[in-house]
Amino acid sequence: METNLKFKPRVGIDARPFAYGMTGNSRYLHEVLKKLIHFNSPFEYYLYSHKEFHPVFEDVYESPLIKVSVYDKFQIPGFLWLNYILPKELKEDRVDIFWGTLQMLPFFKMNIPEVVNYHDLNFISAPNTMTKANYFQHKIFSPITLRHADKIFCLSKNTKNDIHQNFPRFKEKLTVIYPGVNQKTEGLHVNPPYDNFLFTIGTLEPRKNLKTLILAYIQLKTENPNFPLKLIVAGRVGWKEKELSDSLLKGEYEKFGLYFLQNPDDDVLTFLYKNCYAFLFPSIHEGFGLPLLEALIENKICVASDIPVFREVLTDEDIFVEPLNIINWKEALLKIEKENLNKRKKVWNREDWSWDKSANSIEKELNSIWKKKIDRLSF
């Protein structure tokens, strides 16, 4: 990476989320960077990864205002790259601030300020929803990351409270930076072969709890064959839900009016959000829950698990359900249809949830950190 001339302070970013397609992490980073990267930005941004980026993010990584470094000498696990390759690259490129986007900073403290995105403390609050490898990695290295970070960007008040409760000495480092949402116009001409449907989205893994929702829907349709609403499940195959994944992929539940869309593109997703009867979100645990914002901006009623983070977003117009209670989910689905709850009575206030606001908050924190660094160097 060419770094001969240096006009602005440099922010190096762990851009590995861009290697895995559109996920919650990558969408957050993508939308924020679209706002942060502009000619008058006070910073230069450098993206680093151990894998090639997915083309869906090319509007960011191909910008002439950004530098990209993908380590391609040989394949290396992300954890080893983060700890042994990345610090050398940051030093060579004379990066001034490092921004970790995956809840992880290098094991050894670097001589530059470090900030980190924090989505949740799953390894404490929901360990049974994690793979063993992921659990032990976060259990061992999260305290180190929190100690090394100069600032911790929490996606929600719930995450901030969890960190404060479990690691009170890091209180002053914590700040909440909510994600935003854009109302999209794509998908208006998409015409999937179904209508009059409920919609949910998520990876097929324990944390997303789609199995409970699907069982509730099948029981409801078995007991009430005339229930008129179909259920569309969009997402991708994850881990520890092989039997459910196989059944969905084979279309075994279509006889009940339940359809699975694997890795739908943005046009299809936009159509689903705009045209669903109501949106369902049964997660056991979330750092935030971006899909709720996507539904709310389309003025949809949401039926969601009763967990603290969702209370930060939803209102008394929405329906909260005990996450693992199949009977409660059936009752909620019946209520949605019986009471015609297919549109919000009050217009949702989108002004509180803009990507401009998220990006401005991040830039403000980076400026503050840079100023502190300059002040220290001046003594």
The pLDDT-based confidence of 377 (bands split at 50, 70, 90) is: confident
pLDDT for residue 350: 82
Distance CA 18, CA 63 (A): 14
Q: Which residues of 11-24 are buried (b: 16+ CB within 10 A; e: fewer)?
A: bbbbbbbbbeebeb
At 3, the pLDDT band (50, 70, 90 cuts) reads: low
- Over the stretch 256-271, which tens digit does the pLDDT of each residue have? 999 999 888 888 889 9
In percent, the amount of the chain with pLDDT more than 90 equals 72
pLDDT averaged over every residue in the chain: 91
Question: How does residue 367 score in pLDDT terms, banded at 50, 70 and 90?
Answer: very high
Q: Which residue has the higher pLDDT, 184 or 298?
A: 298
Where does 263-354 have alpha helices with state H? 266-275, 290-296, 308-311, 326-338
Average pLDDT for 326-330: 97
The pLDDT value given to residue 1: 57
Confidence of residue 234 (pLDDT cuts 50, 70, 90): very high
Burial class (CB in 10 A: 0-12, 13-18, 19+), 251: exposed
The domains of the chain are located at: 10-180+354-377, 197-352
Q: Give me the mean pLDDT over the 323-351 stretch.
A: 93
- Taking residues 208-217, what's their average pLDDT? 96
Strand 44-49, strand 10-14: pairing: parallel
Residue 80 has pLDDT above 90, yes or no: yes
Q: What is the largest distance, in Å, between two alpha-carbon atoms of the chain?
A: 76
Read off the pLDDT of residues 351-366 as tens digits, 9 standing for 90 and up.
889 999 999 999 999 9
- Are the folds of 10-180+354-377 and 197-352 the same? yes
Predicted pLDDT of residue 189:
60
- Domain 10-180+354-377 class, CATH top level: alpha beta
Task: Give Cα separations from 46 to 40, 98, 203, 346, 374 (angstroms).
Answer: 16, 9, 30, 42, 20
Across residues 28-44, what is the average pLDDT?
Answer: 95
Fold classification of 197-352 (topology level): Rossmann fold (3.40.50)
What does the alpha-carbon distance between residue 45 and residue 123 come to, in Å, rounded to a whole number? 31
Instruction: Give the span between the Cα atoms of 351 and 359, in whole angstroms.
Output: 14
What percentage of the chain has pLDDT greater than the value 70?
A: 96
Q: pLDDT category, 186, cuts 50, 70, 90?
A: low
Q: What is the mean pLDDT of residues 228-247?
A: 89
Whole-prediction pTM: 0.88
- Residue pLDDT, tens place only, 104-116: 999 999 999 999 9
Quote the pLDDT of residue 201.
95
